[in-house]
Structure 1
Amino acid sequence: MTSTPTRQTTGASLHALPKAAPAGHGALPRNPGMALDIGWLEEMRHVNRSALERRAQTLTKRRSIKADNQAAWLLRSISLMDLTTLSSHDTDERVRRLCAKARNPLSADLIAGLGLGDTAIRPAAVCVYHPFVATAVKALEGTGIHVAAVSTAFPHGLSPLETRIAEIRASVGDGADEIDVVIPRGLVLGAKWQELYDEVAQFREACGEAHLKVILGTGELSTLRNVMLASMVSMMAGADFIKTSTGKESVNATLPVGLIMTRAIRAYEERTGFKIGFKPAGGISTAKASLDWLVLMKEELGRRWLEPDLFRFGASSLLTDIERQLEHHLTGRYSAAHRHAMA
């Protein structure tokens, strides 16, 4: 058993996952962005919601991943996580405990039982508020785990633009190498595409070498068409990733939204040649849900989007359920959730 899984499926078979991509952000050229193209946006306005919803339903019903293959794909899910704490009661000590969990997400018994040997299975990043960036950077030093900061007046994005840009620069200065920004949803609802483009472009400039993840807040954008257009504008402005949600909306990541965003990513790559990452966040708390998202990425964008430089889960409780499923795989019994404390 290794972390490089094959799949058992009903219907057409899928290839085994090849070796992981090279570690670090240098494996892919960054998206430089492009001029805002209103004509292209007009071409992308036509969204068939019924067809997207039918496609999303087939993704979860046509594929079945079982036994050792399921365990291997769950290990892959761990490696794609942005392990997150965004609570009003966060403290430095809580963040240090979360970082300790990121360094060692699986118990020694699970590592031995799964035959992982020296294979390191760790989340891709730890995601925190700005005041805790320096704490996380110190706690994760030498691990290769990235530190992401939520920024720009998260979760609403309604403070003055200068304040939001200053927050990005402060987080980068404290050592964050990924910045998750939020857009003011009113710019999308009002079709203020130039203003949205200009804001995201300024966020990208403030990030410098840190990678920029743009949170759309899809549950508050009213229509899948708005999700498509906001995705396209964000990528044109230089986003490295587009992300569904803050996790604070009443509706967060859904598979139909994931489909429209991945198809925007595909259209952007076909036009520009640049690969953009995708991050669903909010409400993804079960191992089964993580498998649904992996299937979506594999079928819509291909194998390359199952690496952490192009796909992430925004997750807090997901790791707990994956640990419980892996323990059930080995022992036939589910352990209590409190045995897998996060922080």
Structure 2
Amino acid sequence: MSTETLTDAPGGNAELRAYLHGLPGVDQVGAEERAARLATRSIKTTAKAAAIDLAISMVDLTTLEGADTPGKVRALCAKAVRPDPEDPAVPKVAAVCVYSDLVGVATAALRGSGIGVASVATAFPAGRAPLEAKLADTRAAVAAGATEIDMVIDRGAFLAGDYLKVYEEIVAVKQACGDAHLKVILETGELVTYDNVRRASWLAMRAGADFIKTSTGKVSPAATLPVTLVMLEAVRDFRAATGRQVGVKPAGGIRTTKDAIRHLVLVNETAGPDWLTPRWFRIGASSLLNDLLMQRRKLATGVYSGPDYFTLD
């Protein structure tokens, strides 16, 4: 496919359907076996230390609960800037992700830190709202200081084959983002098949996504290694076809250092080292950071700190 074909607006839903269903199918057994094989890869202690720091720098530290308060968000931001108060060598995280009404609180708390402020605008987590409401939410979040928007696609429209509606909503939200980066959440746990994950990935990238993201974290299964593998293959192939690089963000269910390192191995072996940076790979998490800090402390001191050594999120 030519770059022009990939980046031009589709002529209609039939053209978009033909394009998406013309993508190569995913070998389910092959994807799952490869992901499982890479998950067993062991790394040396020195490489593990570097991997832990890299994973910390890729975390989108997240709180998305109805009981979130300004105080909780400020505390989370303080932890994002200085994850371990006793060790200034620990890298800061990539971003803090909150609901749109708390963006202003996070923006004020993170000012000057270089840490991004992400907002789950667009009727998170279901994505079932009029487009006008989604755009208003996006514009309000950006006006309050959000540098990243994590939008959810309309999975109902996608599963019904109304690809053009999904495409046009992504395009419209991307325009409403202005200079903010757009992460498009596919909610892969509801897409049923790996073929649908691949199609949704290409649809989002063609519509202008800066990142494709697995999940809201509110649906099970969330981020799995085979799904992330399929998405990494998509961004790799999309760059080969268009010259444009798109990031990947697995989110939901990544809680341990082992989980994080498995994802880093997957990135390196599938998309390549160009994606091993917070600019192109993020991990959406809350409790993960605590385990990364505990494992980091153990490598540095030989002593394993309990889970209450660090603040709980």
Instruction: Say if 1:34 and 1:237, in contact at 8 Å, map to a contact too.
Output: no
Matched, 1:207 2:177: yes
TM-score with structure 2 setting the length: 0.93
Following the alignment from structure 1 to structure 2, what is the Cα–Cα distance between the partners of residues 203 and 33? 17
Q: Does 1:129 align with 2:99?
A: yes
Deviation, 1:34, is 3.7
Residue equivalent to 1:283? 253
Output the amino acid matched with 1:82: D
Query: Scaled by the length of structure 1, what TM-score is found?
Result: 0.85
Choose which of 33, 51, 56 in structure 1 pairs with 2:30: 51
- 1:33: Cα distance to partner? 4.8
Q: Is the 8 A contact 1:98 1:342 kept in 2?
A: no
Q: Specify the code of the residue in structure 2 equivalent to 1:183.
A: I
The aligned residue for residue 76 of structure 1 is 54
Query: For the residues of structure 2 that align with 1:266 and 1:330, how far apart are their CA atoms?
Result: 35
Contact map agreement 1:298 1:305 (CA 8 A) in 2:
yes
The residue matched to 2:308 in structure 1 has which SS? helix
Matches within 5 A, 1:175-194: 175-194=145-164
Aligned counterparts, 1:196-235, within 5 A: 196-235=166-205
What secondary structure sits across from 1:245 in the alignment? coil
1:49-198 mapped onto 2 (5 Å cutoff): 49-61=28-40, 63-108=41-86, 110-111=87-88, 116=89, 121-198=91-168
Tell me how many residue pairs correspond in the alignment: 303
Tell me which amino acid in the other structure corresponds to 1:230.
A
- 258-267 or 232-241, which moves further after superposition? 258-267
Q: Deviations over 1:87-139 (max 9, x none)?
A: 1110000000000001101232x45xxxx4xxx61101000001110000000
Partner AA of 1:211 in structure 2: H
Gapped runs of 5+ residues in structure 1? 1-31
**Cα root mean square deviation, aligned:** 1.4
Name the aligned partner's letter for residue 35 of structure 1: A
Query: Which residue number in structure 2 is paired with residue 14 of structure 1?
Result: none
Name 1:245's counterpart in structure 2. Answer: 215
Shift of 1:328: 1.5
Q: Deviations over 1:194-244 (max 9, x none)?
A: 111111111101111100000000001111111111111111100000000
Distance in structure 2 (CA, Å) of the matches to 1:58 and 1:282: 21
Structure 2 Cα separation of the partners of residues 236 and 35 of structure 1:
8
Distance 1:207 1:98, change over 3 A: same
Q: What is the CA deviation profile of residues 121-180 of structure 1, one whole-angstrom value per residue up to 9, with x for unaligned ones?
A: 110100000111000000001010000000111000001111011100000010101000
Percent identity for Structure 1 against Structure 2: 48
SS of match in other structure, 1:86: coil
Separation of aligned partners in 1, 2:267 and 2:139: 32
Partner of residue 35, structure 1: 9
Look up the equivalent residue of 1:40 and give its one-letter code.
Y
CA distance in 2 between partners of 1:289 and 1:34 (Å): 38
Seen in structure 2, the aligned counterparts of structure 1 residues 56 and 325 have a Cα distance that, compared at 3 Å, is same
Letter matched to residue 94 of structure 1 = K
The alignment partner of 1:242 has SS state of: strand
Contact 1:201 1:238 in 2 (8 A): yes
Cα displacement (A) at 1:80:
0.5
Secondary structure (helix, strand or coil) at the match of 2:253 reads: coil
Shift of the alpha carbon at 1:332?
A: 2.7
Task: State the shift of 1:342 in Å.
Answer: 4.1
Specify the alignment match of 2:238 in structure 1: 268
